Chain A
Amino acid sequence: MEQAPGAHVGTRSLRGLAAAGPVEVFTSPDGTPHALMRDGRRRLVVAVRDSWRVQDRWWTDDPVDRSYFDVIVEPGRHALIFRESSGGWFVHA
């Protein structure tokens, strides 16, 4: 975009919340999370509060297919993790 002298052009971005980052997860034979690495330490999953599947944005070039687990890990912290259909595990911040 060409601007006249003295024109101001700026860019301000919105920052997304709850961005997902990769996490190392150890699973039981049935595929449920058994433990995960947090803060450089292996944390056991104390309880799986809920699990569900999300298939979304299938109409775009970037479809979403995730298996979510709402878990409590040692020492009583909450984490929302999911496994992509491609196999990788991620945790929401």
Chain B
Amino acid sequence: MASTSAATPLKNKRKFENGKKKPKTLKDEFGEKLDIKPVIVPPKPADEYDYDSSDEEDLRNTIGNIPIKWYDDEDHIGYDKFGEKIAKPAKKGEIETFLEKMEDPDYWRKVFDKQTGTDVKLTDEQIEKIHNIATGKYPTIGYNPYEPFLDIFSSQKEIHPIDNRPEPKSRFIPSKDEMRMVSRMVHAIKMGWAKGPRAKKEEHKSYDLWASEDALDNVTKSQLSRMRVHMPAPKVALPTHAESYNPPEEYIFDDEERKKWEEAEKEDRVLNFMPSKYDALRKVPQYDKFITERFERCLDLYLAPRQRKMRIHADPTDLLPDLPNPNDLRPFPTTLAFYMRGHTGQVRAITVEPERGELLASGGEDGTVRIWMIATGRCIKTFQMDGEVTSVSFSPVADRTLLAVAYEGKYVAILNTGCGDRLHVQQTEALLAETPTDAQEDGAVVTWRKSKEKLMLKMPNEVRQVTWHSKGDYFASVAIDDIAKSVYVHQLSKAKSQCPFQKRKGHVQAVTFHPTQARLFVATKIHVREYDLARCVLVKKLITGCKHISTMATDANGENLFLGGLDRRFCWMDLQMGNKPWKKLKHHTAAVRSVAYHKKYPLLATVSDDGTAMVYYARIYTDFVKDNELYPVKRLRAHEKTPNDLCMLHTTWHPTQPWLITAGADGTIALFTY
């Protein structure tokens, strides 16, 4: 404890010494007293010398710096200089401590010192210092943190300089180093090694007084749109001769015209002034209607709305479709080669033998069926029928020389032509002989019988058309009458006929078989129905757009249907594109009598009562990427019109050549080649 109290006064001494030195230095420098508050006087050193208790304490415990706690388990606390144990001070008991506390008034001042083992009594100064530390104040008693500020320099002005040393000479002489550096730079510039300072070029700036007018930044949206769709005002009409000061005589009003002009309303007048005549320009008076005219002009410009009229400059050739050159679509028939003569009266039907195309069969109004050689037009055989022939059809099987003939008297005959291959003729004779006509059912509507090398079918009604199935065993017939049972399907190998329909769906005009499937196309006057013969159901009903269908044909695959009508219309039905026509044409001026499609070439022909046959290039694509093509390429004229306005009645194509054969009402058959 003494050491502690000894250290504290030392610190205080040092601080006070600093305070003392400062005023002394100030006095010594300037020789005057400063106006400063008085400093607290430190305690006297004599008091310090009066105390020797620290020495006593040190002497009392001579154990050195060994921690006391090492001797907690021992009865002594170290050794003295003689080596003898120093005994521990005696511990006070609780009762003794309590009694000291009650009786001793300085008990609160005592602190136990472990080093010496005795109680130390604190002084008042020490207690105040501890209290300052506990309350956060400065530990030094009497310390003033707000000492007045002492300037480092004096504010008093002196007449003498502080430093009396004179300025050296080098302050007044320019620097040699700088001079050397500048010389080096000048030399480098002279030698071209370095560039001098770059002269700043002044750009001559020209000001545009009207720049703001050209720029579009200041323009509003309405002004922009007005510029974009600028519509100039309509021009004033130029003056005419009547407005001259000396017009010709015919422009001057006479009495009648003047009266008429004066009586008319002002809005109805053609001229709003009266033409007058002066012989000299100096005599022309002032125009008294000038103000009125200008006002009306401004009124028109302000009130009359203007509208931009879009005018399309379309070249008529651009509106037409791009058609190919007909010469690129050859071959198609272009010229009439010759006529085949022999029939008297109308030639109503023609048919060509399949595959070879050497023979042509024709049926006419004279009740004959004739076989012709196409190469020369020679008639080589004639069959006499008992009535007017309405339809003939060669069997599509090339191994048979069968010909189906429908003629008036309600008969259908199956003939052996007897021309062509001898072997095929014999085979056909055997086939006809084997037909089981004797095994017919009783009460059958159609009766079959043999009659010297031909089969005769007695039908219940007059037959309009007879057509073969592509396999050659079945053939169908259509009656002329409008009845429910107008269509019959006949089977040659069994000599059997049956009617596939029980109800009337319309007046049947034509039937045709599907080339590859077991289907039947039935054309009434307006519609075409497709029936599945295997399942006996209606597959499709086609809306044709024709008013009166007269003829029907299919292509080789059965996916397209060609229809001709008595209302001059021709329809192409693509059966894969719904039930509406793919194309409708009206190139004829009279009824279309027959339609034919070629098996090898993409050619289509229609014949009509107007005496012409239209030949079309008709290409069919099976894939759906490409569309079908139909171009009219040639109009062929032949045959003569009869008094009842019939001309061409039937047509067919040669099976191997692009030749067209037409049957005429004048009794001739025409062959067209190219």
A binds B: no
